[in-house]
Amino acid sequence: MSQSEWRTIQKAKPQFEGHAQPKVPVWGYENENDPAVMVRKIDAAADHGIDAFIFDWYYYDREASGKAAASSDIWDGSKYLYSALEKGFLGATNNARLKFSVMWCNHDLGSIAKGAVRPETFEQMTDYLIENYFKHPSYWKIDGSP
């Protein structure tokens, strides 16, 4: 499994009496960057009445970002934790069964990157969103708009 937010969850420790940690997913820890894994999740969701996935989506100032995690699966200097969407969901052969959207998470990433972005970065980010997600036939739209 490549690096992901699961590493943090796997290392969780109980913080008080009765605090059951770490939590383990029913299907175990799976690499959501893998389209085959996402096919299973999409099928399970769609078969049980879920009609959309909302992905947390991070985008930072590349120039203002410090050195981040070693894996390019989670960090390219601007986008962070993007592979479950771009490789997993968009690579899944059944992604037409669900709509998807992104929720821009513009909070700080510790000391690695600041959530506030420069206007130029915001424009790059929105261009990226439009080109790579909003035009996808499975992007969740209301009255024809993302």
Q: 91: exposed, middle or buried (C-beta count within 10 Å: 0-12, 13-18, 19+)?
A: middle
- pTM value is 0.82
At a CB cut-off of 8 Å and minimum separation 6, what does 46 contact? 94, 97, 98
The model's pLDDT over 20-41, given as tens digits with 9 standing for 90+, comes to 998 888 998 899 999 999 999 9
62 pLDDT band (50/70/90 cuts)? confident
Rounded Cα gap, residues 91 and 86, in angstroms: 7
Question: What's the token pair of residue 102?
Answer: 């992104």
Q: Is the pLDDT of residue 3 over 90?
A: no
The answer on pLDDT for 94 being more than 80 is yes
* Residue 138 and residue 85 in contact, taking contact as beta carbons nearer than 8 Å: no
Between the CA of residue 10 and those of 3, 15, 21, 95, 109, what are the distances in Å? 12, 14, 9, 28, 19
